[in-house]
């Protein structure tokens, strides 16, 4: 995902690349993505900590690169630059993540579900939702 998002020069392009990359991964790695989702949802450390609370040993450059592809960062940058309308980046990021997650859930019960077409529909939907 990182190279696809980094290749884009606009917030709208980065958002679209983010959505398309997720849809493509779900389409080609459905069982892997489902397993990762189950692990992330259910993991608890000995002290009850969640997966997202674990520390990760990454270089500052790697952390910076990952931060740039986070939905909140993409959306916030789009709002600040005036490319996107005024909106709550956390709420919009949640909506995007939930919509992408819906593709995974739907594809588990409908093996013929067209994840790529759904992803393109999400690109259009969130393009309109963020448009200034």
SS3 state of residue 89: helix
For residue 131, the cross-strand partners are 84
Handedness of CA 5, 90, 113, 27 (dihedral sign): positive
Measure the CA–CA gap between 103 and 27, rounded to whole angstroms: 9
Question: Minimal CA–CA distance to 25: which of 98, 92, 103?
Answer: 103
The mean pLDDT value of the chain amounts to 90
pLDDT tens digits, 21-56: 999 999 998 888 788 777 778 888 888 888 777 777
pLDDT for 13 equals 97
Crossing angle (nearest 10°) for helices 89-109 and 115-130: 160
Name the token pair of 67.
């931060």
């Amino acid at each position: 995902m990182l190279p696809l998002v980094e290749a884009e020069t606009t917030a709208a392009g980065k958002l679209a690349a983010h959505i398309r990359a997720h849809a493509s991964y779900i389409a080609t790695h459905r069982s892997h993505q489902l397993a990762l989702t189950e692990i992330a949802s259910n993991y608890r450390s000995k002290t009850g900590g969640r997966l997202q609370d674990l520390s990760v040993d990454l270089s500052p450059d790697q952390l910076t690169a990952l931060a740039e592809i986070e939905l909140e960062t993409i959306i916030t940058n789009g709002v600040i630059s005036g490319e996107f309308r005024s909106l709550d980046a956390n709420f919009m990021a949640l909506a995007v993540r939930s919509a992408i997650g819906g593709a995974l859930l739907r594809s588990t019960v409908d093996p013929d579900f067209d994840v790529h077409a759904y992803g393109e529909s999400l690109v259009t939907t969130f393009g309109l939702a963020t448009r200034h």
